Amino acid sequence: MVAINKYSNVPLYCQLKNLILKKIELGEFVADERIPSELDLCERYNISRPTVRQAINELTTTGHLYKLKGKGTFVAAQKNHINIKDYTGFTDSILDSNNPSEKEIFSIETVSGKNYPKVAEAFGLKPEDNHEFAAISFTNLVNNDVISYNVSYLPLSLFPDIKEDIQDNKDVLRGKYPLIPSVSKSSLDIISTDQREAAYLNIQPGQPLIRINNLLYSKSGQPVEYIVTKYRADKTILQFENHK
């Protein structure tokens, strides 16, 4: 067992952080496995509890570890890299998918603009006019791991049979080709997980999510699909690449 050097200029909590990171790198601590408790680490390395707590808290902040209330501290899985350079905005589109029924869809329902004013406003509509939308909820998986929760909103005035088409495994754009998405406008922000999202993403409520709001337009400039995608911040790294 590697010991903590109390005579080193490196702070004790930093030494413990490096030891834990090394064990993760070598596979001694594997993803989603609980690491020793604070008390165990105190006894193992003969250091104080505040020192251990500082190391654990910093590794939790950086996303290497995560805590489950009443269960302990666990190793976070390696993050999935999403290259923004290749992100077109059409990735999570229902309309632009060759076979939307193959997505991990878990609900298809009708919602009103009155109850979802931000959706209505995204399409340039007044919430009080009570327009109806198909709300299609689905998840994205990478290596059988859920990394995002998505909801696609489609105006029923443009796609009156969209719900039935998807349930019957039909091409939703058959006979509607003028409405194929061709332009995407996206915005990104950070939010906290609510109870519903937490259940589908297998995380605790309140954890951070990366939210991308994406509005798709047809060639004529008609808004045809509004997609809200929420990525697990603890499993996602967004990569940017720019050229002058």
pLDDT for res 78: 66
- Amino acid letter, residue 30: V
Burial bucket for residue 187 (CB in 10 Å: 0-12, 13-18, 19+): exposed
List the beta strands (DSSP E) in the chain: 65-68, 72-75, 80-83, 104-112, 132-142, 145-155, 181-192, 208-218, 223-232, 236-239
Per-position pLDDT tens, the chain of length 244: 567 888 889 999 999 999 999 998 888 998 889 999 999 999 999 999 999 999 999 888 777 888 888 889 998 876 555 554 445 567 788 888 777 766 788 899 999 999 999 999 999 999 999 899 999 999 877 767 788 899 999 999 999 988 888 888 777 766 665 688 888 898 999 998 888 888 888 877 888 888 999 999 998 899 999 999 998 887 777 666 555 5
AA letter at 61: T
Q: From CA 166, how far away is CA 180, in angstroms rounded?
A: 16
- CA 26 to chain CA centroid, nearest Å: 27
CA-to-CA distance for 19 and 2, rounded, in angstroms?
Answer: 8
Q: What domains are there in the chain, each with its CATH number?
A: 12-75 (1.10.10.10), 80-239 (3.40.1410.10)
Nearest C-alpha neighbor of 113 from the set 121, 101, 102: 121
Q: Rounded to an integer, what distance in angstroms lies between the CA atom of residue 34 and that of residue 153?
A: 39
Please provide residue 192's backbone torsions phi and psi, each rounded to the nearest 5 degrees. Answer: -105, 150
Contacts of 201 (CB under 8 A, 6+ apart): 139, 146, 148, 149, 193, 209, 230, 232
